[in-house]
Amino acid sequence: MHVRRTPSWALPEREVTPEALYLNRRAVLAAMAAVGASPAAASTDPEKLARIATRRTHDAGEPPTPLADVAGYNNFYEFGLDKGDPARNAGTLRPSPWTVRVGGLVKSPLTLDVDRYIARAPWEERIYRFRCVEGWSMVIPWVGVPFASLVRAVEPLGSAKYVAFRTLADREQMPGLRLPVLDWPYREGLRLDEAMHELTLLAVGVYGRRLPNQNGAPIRLVVPWKYGFKSVKSIVAIDFVETQPETSWNMATPREYGFYANVNPNVDHPRWSQARERRIGEFRRRETLLFNGYPEVAGLYAGMDLKRFF
Ligand code: MTE
C-alpha cells in the first residue's frame, strides 16, 4: 500500500490550490481516479538519466535542495494535482525524440531536434533559487544555456515584442489533460527583453543529468526572478509575437495570476501573503526577496507600477 507522507513544510491544500480548482475538487479527483496511475518508467528516476557535461557559471551561494525533493515534489498538472503525482505518473511522457518549433516573427525559423541539441550545446550549470507562487522554494542546480542564444539564432524581426511558449498537449502521454483544470496546452509568455535577459535559462537537466520527466523533460524554461509557474515545462513551440500572449494561469484566474508574476514580497496574492516562503527542507519560513533576490533584473521594470503589473 502506498502511504502518503505529509512533510512538515507542506502547505495546506486549501491555501495553495487555485480557487476555481479547489471548489471543483471533487470532480477533479473523480476524473483522476478514472485516468488511473501509470507505472513509473526509468525517465522519472533521476539516477538513471544520462549525464550532461557542464561548467558551473552561477552559484546561489546556498546548498541545493536534495535531488529527491527536486524530482519528487513537483507541479506538473498534466500529470495530476498532488505534488507526488508527476513523479508517479510522468513515466508515460516520451521525451525522446522531441522537437521544438521556433518561429513567428523571426527571420530564420528553426526546428530544434532536442537530442542533437543536447549533444552539441556548451551546457552550463546554474544554481538558482526557485520560488513557487504557493509559498515554497528550492535551490536547484539546472543544466541549461541562456535562452538569448536561441533568440539570436532565429533573428527576431523588429515587430517581435513578446515570446510565447507552449507545452506538449497529448492525452495519450499526459493523463491530466482529461482534467478541466487549465485551458490546455499549458501556455506561458515573456516580454522579449525578459526572455533575452542573461538569467533566463533554457534548461535540459538538473543535478548534471537530463531532466526527469516530472521536471519538464526534455526541455523547459527557467526564469528565476519570477514565480515558478512562468517556468513552462516540456516545450514544443516557441513563437515570437507582437502582442502580449495569453498565458494559462492568467486566463484561468486573472485576479490571482498576472502576466509578469515577478517574485514580490510587497504584492500579496489575493488569498495569501507573499512576504515569506518555506525553503523545502527547512522549518522556519524566510523572508521572500524582491525579484527572488535577483536585483539585476530591476532595470527591466523601471518606471512600472509593480502592484498593477503583478
Ligand atoms: N509547466 C507545465 N507544462 N505544467 C505545469 O503544471 N507548473 C508550473 C511550472 N511549469 C507547470 C509548468 C509551476 S506552478 C511550477 S512551481 C513549476 O513548473 C514547478 O517546476 P518543478 O516541478 O520542476 O519544481
What cell was used for 28? Answer: 477533479
For residue 155, CA distances in Å to 6, 109, 158, 159 come to 48, 8, 9, 11
**pLDDT classification of 42: cutoffs 50, 70, 90:** low
Q: Which residue has the higher pLDDT, 38 or 220?
A: 220
Average pLDDT estimate for 272-285? 96
Measure the CA–CA gap between 280 and 285, rounded to whole angstroms. 10
222 Cβ contact list (under 8 Å, min separation 6): 126, 128, 130, 140, 142, 144, 200, 201, 202, 203, 231
pLDDT value for 5:
45
Mutate to test the pocket of ligand 1, among 179, 229, 250, 280 (most ligand atoms within 8 A of CB): 229
Mutate to test the pocket of ligand 1, among 17, 76, 143, 250 (most ligand atoms within 8 A of CB): 76
294 Cβ contact list (under 8 Å, min separation 6): 129, 199, 224, 225
Q: Please name the fold of domain 15-72+90-167+180-301.
A: Sulfite Oxidase; Chain A, domain 2 (3.90.420)
Q: Is 79 left (phi over 0), alpha (psi -120 to 50) or beta?
A: alpha
For residue 123, CA distances in Å to 142, 164, 210 come to 10, 23, 11
Pick the atom of ligand 1 nearest to 227's CA. Answer: 16
Q: Is the pLDDT of residue 88 over 70?
A: yes
Q: Is 17 in the pocket of ligand 1 (CB under 6 A)?
A: no
User: Which phi and psi (to 5°) does residue 67 adopt?
Assistant: -55, -35
Expressed in angstroms and rounded, the spacing between residue 158 Cα and the centre of ligand 1 is 31
pLDDT value for 29:
58
pLDDT digits (tens, 9 = 90+) for 146-181: 999 999 999 999 999 999 999 999 999 999 999 989
Mutate to test the pocket of ligand 1, among 74, 202, 230, 231 (most ligand atoms within 8 A of CB): 231
Q: Is 229 in the pocket of ligand 1 (CB under 6 A)?
A: yes
**pLDDT classification of 2: cutoffs 50, 70, 90:** very low
Residue nearest (by alpha carbon) to ligand 1 atom 22: 74
Measure the CA–CA gap between 182 and 175, rounded to whole angstroms. 13
302 Cβ contact list (under 8 Å, min separation 6): none
Sole residue written with cell 494561469: 249
For residue 90, CA distances in Å to 86, 212, 249, 256, 307 come to 5, 9, 21, 27, 36
Strands of 51-170, DSSP E = 55-58, 99-104, 110-113, 124-131, 136-146, 162-167
Cβ atoms of 164 and 104 closer than 8 Å: yes
pLDDT value for 225:
98
Q: Is 229 left (phi over 0), alpha (psi -120 to 50) or beta?
A: alpha
- Which of 250, 287, 253 minimizes the C-alpha distance to 135? 287
Pick the atom of ligand 1 nearest to 77's CA. Answer: 6
**What is the SS3 assignment for 138?**
strand
Residue nearest (by alpha carbon) to ligand 1 atom 14: 229
Cβ atoms of 86 and 97 closer than 8 Å: no
pLDDT value for 116:
96
Residue nearest (by alpha carbon) to ligand 1 atom 12: 232
Q: Is 78 in the pocket of ligand 1 (CB under 6 A)?
A: yes
Measure the CA–CA gap between 283 and 202, rounded to whole angstroms. 31
CA angle 221, 224, 229 (to 5 degrees): 60
Expressed in angstroms and rounded, the spacing between residue 175 Cα and the centre of ligand 1 is 16
Q: Is 123 in the pocket of ligand 1 (CB under 6 A)?
A: no
Q: Is 231 in the pocket of ligand 1 (CB under 6 A)?
A: yes
Q: Is 186 in the pocket of ligand 1 (CB under 6 A)?
A: yes
Measure the CA–CA gap between 151 and 304, rounded to whole angstroms. 25
| Amino acid in the structure at residue 208 | G
- Which of 248, 275, 253 minimizes the C-alpha distance to 264? 275
Cβ atoms of 158 and 168 closer than 8 Å: no
Q: Is 132 in the pocket of ligand 1 (CB under 6 A)?
A: yes
Sole residue written with cell 528516476: 45
| Residues across the chain | 310
pLDDT digits (tens, 9 = 90+) for 230-273: 999 999 999 999 999 999 999 999 999 999 999 999 999 999 99
Q: Is 89 in the pocket of ligand 1 (CB under 6 A)?
A: no
